[in-house]
Amino acid sequence: MTISRSTSIPLDKFIELALYDKNFGYYMKKNPFGIEGDFVTAPNITRLFSEIIGVWSITFWKSIGSPKKFNLLELGAGNGEMMKVITETLRNFPEFFKACNFMIYEKSKFLINEQKKNLKHEKITWIKNLKKINSYPTLFLANEFFDAIPIKQYFKKNESWFERYVELKDLNNARFIEKKANIKNIKQIFKFDISKNQNIIEYSPKTFRYLKTIFKIVEKNDGGILIIDYGYLHSKMQDTLQAVTKHKYSDILKNIGNSDITYNINFNLFKIFTNQFHKLNEIITSQKKFLTSMGILQRAEIISKSIAFSKKTDLFYRIKRLIDKRQMGELFKVMLIKNRNNKFNTGFQGD
């Protein structure tokens, strides 16, 4: 791994290397998705999830006036499964399909190749720079995108703040250390006192750079961003850093470059940041409420009438994983950020 072992590096720089080093980074050399990988995302559980997102995208498109040119852009498309099902679903809606430019933003060349194998018959463009997309209204889809972006952590001790670093003199014995930090630097990013009533600060600088870019595009060209991820809503921040290998939690500092490193999104921070953009607002609900209000159970009932009993049982088992409050239903949140003058709330009614 291309790192200097003579010193320690901040946690976010360590995660960037472990996940995105061009030669050894976790996402740069393997396909971690699915049963045979390290973790399973909602599109891998059942195609009904992606179908719902596709149909919901049409209703959002209509809410902004059914523009003749429109971008549907997925951030970090994994193995391409969600975009594959979305495009297959949307072929049944010719007016929308004709208007829509399908796009994927992906950092990993390895995953781009996997996506192109899965999407070889679809009209999709891969982009490297969000700032250079065209001026059409754009709907960004971020399913488990932000949880994979490197984070910083700060801990309050005796009224002083310390930033978490990783010491890498010996890769086989990497360890966490802490260095005193000037918390005022973070306050300038968020334009509010992020440390107030906190003992832990956990956030991703790169996430908010992404959001700032996306928000400016939405303000200028119309559209929005649909964020689906695991996380929490309360203002008190937590230490949620974790690593996953073969569907089990693992040691973040062991087997570097071969484990996924992730964290739980603090959606309250997303809300506060959004409120700084006065033309935008946000609505949020649980994955359970979003999918059920969009009719996933009714869709499953229709499908189940024409399949064998064993497949019907499997289908509803998979849907239960998505909506059960003890599984993904409540842990996963769905947030839509859009222009304030757009009163659209399909999938979010009652929240």
Question: CB-based burial of residue 284 (10 Å sphere; 0-12 exposed, 13-18 middle, 19+ buried)?
Answer: buried
Pairing state between β 280-286 and 200-203: unpaired
pLDDT tens, position by position, 271-281: 999 999 999 99
Answer yes or no: is pLDDT of 52 > 90: yes
Between the CA of residue 250 and those of 245, 246, 256, 258, what are the distances in Å? 6, 9, 11, 10
- On whether residue 196 sits in a domain, the answer given is no
CB 137 within 8 A of CB 221: yes
User: Structurally, how many domains does the chain consist of?
Assistant: 1
285 in Cβ contact with 345 (< 8 Å): no
DSSP strand pairing (70-75 vs 100-105) = parallel
- Is the pLDDT at 255 greater than 90, yes or no? no
What's the first-to-final CA gap in the chain, in angstroms? 46
Lowest mean pLDDT among 1-5, 116-120, 243-247: 1-5
User: Between 130 and 256, whose confidence is greater?
Assistant: 130
86: CATH: 3.40.50.12710
Give the residue-averaged pLDDT of 104-125: 89
Q: Are 169 and 160 in contact (CB under 8 A)?
A: no
Tell me phi and psi for residue 192, to 5 degrees: -155, 165
Mean pLDDT of the 115-144 span: 93
Tokens 């949020």: give the residue. 284
- Does residue 135 lie in a domain region? yes
Contact 108, 16 (CB under 8 A): no
Is 348 a member of any domain? no
Residues 6+ apart with CB under 8 A from 266: 202, 203, 231, 232, 237, 238
Asked if 267 and 234 count as a contact pair (C-beta separation under 8 A), the reply is no
Position 94 scores a pLDDT of 96
Domain that holds residue 108: 17-147+206-339
| Bridge partners for 103 per DSSP | 73, 125
Percent of the chain with pLDDT over 70: 95
pLDDT of res. 31: 64
Is residue 185 situated within a structural domain? no
* Per-residue model confidence as pLDDT tens digits over 66-109: 999 999 999 999 889 999 999 999 999 999 999 999 999 998 88
Q: What is the pLDDT of residue 285?
A: 96
Would residue 239 count as lying in a domain? yes
Nearest-angstrom CA–CA distance, 290 and 346: 9
What tokens appear for 169 in the block?
Answer: 């003199």
Decide if 269 is inside a domain. yes
Residue 8 lies in a domain: no
**Average pLDDT taken over every residue of the chain:** 89
Residue 38: pLDDT band (50, 70, 90) is low
Token pair for residue 106?
């992906």
Its pTM stands at 0.92
pLDDT per residue as tens digits for the range 162-211: 999 999 887 778 899 999 998 887 777 777 788 888 999 999 999 999 99
Phi, psi values for residue 66, rounded to 5°: 50, 60
- pLDDT surpassing 50 at residue 1: no
* pLDDT > 60? residue 149: yes
Is residue 333 a contact partner of residue 233, using CB atoms and an 8 Å limit? yes
Comparing CA positions, the residue from 139, 99, 106, 140 lying closest to residue 125 is 106
Identity of the residue numbered 268: N
Tell me if 343 sits within 8 A of 228, measured CB to CB. no
Q: Is residue 9 part of a domain?
A: no
9 sits in the region (left: phi over 0; alpha: psi -120 to 50; else beta) called beta
Mean per-residue pLDDT, 226-242: 94
Phi (first) and psi of residue 33, to 5 degrees: -90, 145
